[in-house]
Structure 1
C-alpha cells in the first residue's frame, strides 16, 4: 500500500499499460488508478494479468494478453483497450528484456532479442494507438528506459544500447507529436526492488550481499521503490506536466550524477 496522498491528479485519463502485470508496469497502473485514471493492462501471461487486475481493483477497465513485439497483438490489444475505456490518451510502455551481453562474447541472436524487446514495443504501442491519441486531442506517452540508457555498464552492450535507443525514440516522437499536444517522456530508473529483482538475487550464492551491492551503488544508498516510479508516472500523465516533453528523467538515487 502506497503512502502517497491521493488527489485525483489524473481523474478521467484512460491509460493503456504494456508490461502492466508485474513490477514497474503494475506499480504505474496502481498509482494511476489510485489517482483517478482508468487503466487497461497488457502483458504476455493472462493469469498474471488477472492477478494484477485484482490487485489494482477499482479503475481497471480490463486486460488482454499479448506480445508487445507483435504488430497483430498490439493492434488487437489497442482496439480492445480503446473499446473498454472509450478511447486512449495515456500510454505506459514497461515491456522489455535484459541479460548479460559482453561485447566480445554475445551472440547476434541474443543481442537482437534484447534490442527488439525493448525498442519495438514503444514503436508499436504508439503507432497502433496514434488514432486514439489524436482523437483525444492531447495525451502522454511514458516509456520506461533505464539509467543504463544514460550511462554505460560493463557486459550490457545490448541493454545499454536498447535503453539508449528508447530515449532517442522518445526525443524524436516528442518532436513529431508536440503540435498535437501529445507529450512523450522516458523514466530512467536505477535499481528498483521489484519481486523479479529479488528473485534474481535469490539465485546468487549470497542473495543478501547481491542486493546490498545493488542498493549501495547509488549515492542515496538504497534501492528505489515501485511506488516512487508510479508517482513520477502519475505526474507525467497529469496536466501538471503539460510543458514537459522529450525528457529522459533519471530516478536513480544520483547514480548518473557522478
Structure 2
C-alpha cells in the first residue's frame, strides 16, 4: 500500500463499477478512507467487499441526479469517514443519436445524468471541503468533451459542459484550498462499454475499431485513469486546478 492519500476521506459517485470503482480502489491503496455511491445496491456491496480489504470503506445507494439523495449520501459519507476532503464524480450516461434524430427527452436525460451529479455533489460536499481546509474535486468527463463525435450530440454536449463547470468551480474554490479538475479518458474497456459493444452487428470488429481509433492503438486501462485520479487528489497536485486531462492515447491531437 502507498501513502499519498493517507488520512484523506474520499466520496466517489458511480463508485460501484467501472472507472469510479477503479478510482476508489486506487484511493484506498494509497491510504484514503473511501465511501462509494450509485443506484445499484448489490454492486455497491460487491465493491465495498473488495475495498474493505484495503482499508476503511462504506457505501450508500442513491441517485446522483436527485438533490435529496445526494444530501443523504454526503451526510452518510461524512459520518462514516469522520469528514470529507476528496470528491470524485464518475456518474453518467450516454446516447447514440445525431442532431437530426435525437429527441429532446433523450437529450435532457443524458444532460441531467452527466451534469447534475457534479453540480449537486460539489454543492453538498462544499461545506465539508472548506472545513477540511484543503481538498479536491475530480470529475470524469471524456475525450468527447474536448472534441466532437458524429451521432453523439447529447454526450459531447454534456461532457463539454462538465469541463466548463470544472473550470468555473476551480475559480470559485481557488482561494479556499480546494482544487477542481477533470479526467478525459478515451475508450476504456469497462464492463458497461463491453456490454454496449456486444450489441453491435459484429462485436469483435466494433471493439477492434474502438481500440485502433487512438494514435496509441489500444484501449485505455482502468488503472491508468485511476492513477491520474490519485494524482489530482494528492497534495502533489496542490498547484493544479481547472485542468481537463486528456487520457486518450493521442486521439484529440490528430
Structure 1 residue ranges, 4+ long, deviating more than 2 angstroms after superposition:
57-61
- The CA RMSD measured in Å over matched residues stands at 0.8
Contact residue 101 and residue 111 of structure 1 kept, 8 A: no
Quote the offset at 1:101 in angstroms.
2.0
Size of the aligned set, in residue pairs, is 253
Secondary structure at the aligned position of 1:65 is classed as coil
Report whether the alignment pairs 1:44 with 2:39. Answer: yes
Secondary structure at the aligned position of 2:60 is classed as strand
Within a 5 Å distance, the mapping from 1:3-14 to structure 2 comes to: 6-14=1-9
Tell me the TM-score normalized by structure 2: 0.98
Secondary structure at the aligned position of 2:158 is classed as helix
Contact residue 51 and residue 57 of structure 2 kept, 8 A: no
Counterpart selection for 2:253 from 233, 236, 257: 257
Distance 1:205 1:97 in 2: 22
CA-to-aligned-CA distance 1:165-194 (integer Å, 9 cap, x gap)? 000000000000010010000000000011
What residue is the counterpart of 1:3 in the other structure?
none
Distance 2:50 2:151 in 1: 36
What residue is the counterpart of 1:97 in the other structure?
93
Q: What runs of 5+ residues in structure 2 fail to find an aligned partner? A: none
Secondary structure at the aligned position of 1:113 is classed as helix
Secondary structure at the aligned position of 2:182 is classed as strand
Contact residue 68 and residue 121 of structure 1 kept, 8 A: yes
Within a 5 Å distance, the mapping from 1:1-258 to structure 2 comes to: 6-57=1-52, 58-258=54-254
Quote the offset at 1:241 in angstroms.
0.4
CA-to-aligned-CA distance 1:202-222 (integer Å, 9 cap, x gap)? 222221111110000000000
Tell me the TM-score normalized by structure 1: 0.97
Q: What runs of 5+ residues in structure 1 fail to find an aligned partner? A: 1-5
